[in-house]
Structure 1
Amino acid sequence: MSKTRAVNPRQPKSIPKNDEPEYVFDFRQAMLARGLSVRTRNAYVKDLTSCQATSLKALPNWQDKDVIACLSQLSSEGKTARTQARMLSSLRQFFLWLVNTEQRKDNPCEKIKTPKLGRALPKDLSEADVENLLLAPDMSTSLGLRDKAMLEVLYACGLRVSELMNLSLEQVNLNAGVLRVTGKGNKTRLVPLGEYANEALENYLTHARNDLVAHLKSGDCQAVFLTAQGGYMTRQNFWYMIKKYAKLAGIQKDLSPHSLRHAFATHLLNHGADLRSVQLLLGHSDLSTTQIYTHVATARLQALHEAHHPRG
């Protein structure tokens, strides 16, 4: 693991241009003008490059039969329906841009149906599992206090991992018990911390963060959560951390950093929260994205009914 100290949030690098076609460069610039993140722009460029590789015809000249041939080729290569759907979505956006900029009159993807996807439900992490996970860090060390605060905040607020990694001191208001979080599309939302997360965060900021700052020899890092070297953490840092604590807590499920965000939403719904409120807390722009958690909650209720009802 790298020992370098990051005094600014770590951001993904743009895919190198490497003599890319002019239409890809222009589309890249259009995405930049729309304010899309580097990660999103990279994903579009990667998908368009993969699609172009299935045909000798230049992408801007494709017709619907070329799109269908591309999807067929991807399927024959063993690409999943989810991957095909994502690439079709990238093609749709690309051709929509061509239409909007009057470089062509039609979108050849318009009448092509998206491959059917099975609904992928988030892994069900029980409240007991979460409790064991939150108790796993060693509270006698600075890193343990940091890790405890990170886990508590992630579960209490349902943050995306990137939101947690990039959280700065100015976004924290312990007196009001809220975080001002900047999510996808640079949208800002206020998220309540709750008693346990507020206490864990205050404990870390008061008793541990200064110990980590002491390792930072230059620069002024405003990150709330610091590495042992005093800089910004990465998604990989946190991935290793949650795997370690899941093992200590005796959790057999394969956890990811996103697992606590899933648990946050599912447990809120299990305890009677309404879907709209959960949507706002998660920072979802579309309610349909949040609705997947109702399926998790329903599945859990059905399992409980079958296990405990005399006629289950």
Structure 2
Amino acid sequence: MRISEAVEGYLSHLGDVRRLSPATVRAYRSDLVDLVRASGDPDVRDIDIEALRQWQWDAATAGLSKATAARRTSAARGFLAWAQDEGLIDADPGQRLVAPKRGRSLPRVATAPALDGLLTDAESAARSGDPVALRDHALLEVLYGTGARVSEVCGLDLDDIDDERRTLRLRGKGDKERVVPYGVPAAHALDAYLVRGRAGLVDRGDGSGGPAVFLGARGGRLGPRAVHALVSRVVAPVVGTESLGPHALRHSAATHLLDGGADLRSVQEILGHASLGTTQIYTHVSAERLRDAYRLAHPRA
């Protein structure tokens, strides 16, 4: 079997069996299609460790980041392990493929007072009654109030909201569900949007939004790209950088929870991290903030 055919089988396995998110499958597709191109698409049994290492070297000399190179390595290793399990190859050369070590940069976060001002401004804009302004206020409050991923909030349906308990049912990576609480400000903003704003957005469209909580300006389900643009536009001036990732409010929520005394396990559950090690990055952010405050304030710093 050609590598290209085997890759399509593996990608189907990731989506249909392992239930990985479409975004993750797209990233793996990009990496593995590049492997097919670089190898010349021979029979999958002809892939060896030398070809894999050459592929890695080509990526390094092209200037790809260590994070991207590590992801490509993970994609290749996963593919080849699956190929062996399926009997497409006798031995797995990916077991000898070593991913480059990647450094971990601390996420940028906004201060709690800065975000409070930002959300107050969004609330003021929503008082106009404009459906988009009402939606944006609710969206920002939910993102910050729950620490949810952008994709999880975009995937919210109306029956995922429990307004009595003030909780949301979110579907995270691997289609795993979790229930997270949200606070009074998010509840008020969400109620205002659902009562006075969402119907206005429905009227603008053709009903394609269905049960989605958050709708776009044309009435369809709001997409992650539009949310990324909104978050970057409103949060970047607060943080002081234009190169802001899509998880700005998620990073800030996690850090502020820890700053306020929440334990690490609780934050892990709220964020939906599979590993506690992933959540621990925010303890480093809190420590950095503490050191900065000390240097600024203590006379003997």
- Which residue, 267, 271, 277 being the options, matches 2:266? 277
Q: Helix, strand or coil: the match of 2:179?
A: strand
CA spacing shift, 1:290–1:246, aligned 2, 3 Å: closer
1:65 deviates by 2.3
Aligned equivalent of 2:240: 252
Matches within 5 A, 1:120-199: 120-137=105-122, 138-139=125-126, 140=128, 141-199=130-188
CA spacing shift, 1:152–1:218, aligned 2, 3 Å: closer
Q: Deviations over 1:85-136 (max 9, x none)?
A: 1111011101110121233343223233321111121112111221122122
1:286 deviates by 1.4
Distance 1:183 1:43 in 2: 17
> Does the 8 Å CA contact 1:269/1:297 hold for their aligned counterparts?
yes
Q: Deviations over 1:17-62 (max 9, x none)?
A: xx98221222223223332233222222211121233334735422
Distance 2:205 2:213 in 1: 14
| Range moving further from structure 2, 20-29 or 78-87 | 20-29
* 1:112 equivalenced with 2:97 (yes/no): yes
CA spacing shift, 1:53–1:206, aligned 2, 3 Å: same
1:217 deviates by 4.1
Q: Helix, strand or coil: the match of 2:97?
A: coil
| Range moving further from structure 2, 153-162 or 225-234 | 225-234
Matched AA of 1:46: S
Aligned equivalent of 2:31: 47
> Does the 8 Å CA contact 1:180/1:191 hold for their aligned counterparts?
yes
Matches within 5 A, 1:216-255: 216-218=205-207, 221-246=210-235, 252-254=240-242, 255=244
Aligned equivalent of 2:11: 28
CA spacing shift, 1:307–1:235, aligned 2, 3 Å: same
CA spacing shift, 1:256–1:83, aligned 2, 3 Å: closer
- Which residue, 278, 287, 295 being the options, matches 1:306? 295
RMSD: 2.1
Q: Helix, strand or coil: the match of 2:178?
A: strand
1:256 deviates by 4.0
- Which residue, 214, 236, 247 being the options, matches 2:203? 214
Q: Deviations over 1:143-162 (max 9, x none)?
A: 22211111001000011111
Aligned equivalent of 2:22: 38
Aligned equivalent of 1:9: none
Q: Deviations over 1:224-243 (max 9, x none)?
A: 11222222111222233234
User: TM-score scaled to structure 2, two decimals?
Assistant: 0.90
CA spacing shift, 1:56–1:220, aligned 2, 3 Å: closer
Unaligned stretches of 5+ residues in structure 1: 1-18
| Range moving further from structure 2, 139-148 or 264-273 | 139-148
Higher relative contact order (Cα pairs below 8 Å, separated by 6+ residues): 1
Unaligned stretches of 5+ residues in structure 2: none
| Range moving further from structure 2, 56-65 or 288-297 | 56-65
> Does the 8 Å CA contact 1:177/1:198 hold for their aligned counterparts?
yes
Q: Helix, strand or coil: the match of 2:94?
A: coil
Distance 2:187 2:176 in 1: 23
CA spacing shift, 1:250–1:157, aligned 2, 3 Å: closer
Matched AA of 1:135: T
Distance 1:54 1:34 in 2: 27
> Does the 8 Å CA contact 1:60/1:95 hold for their aligned counterparts?
no
> Does the 8 Å CA contact 2:66/2:101 hold for their aligned counterparts?
yes
Higher percent of residues as helix: 2
Aligned equivalent of 1:82: 67
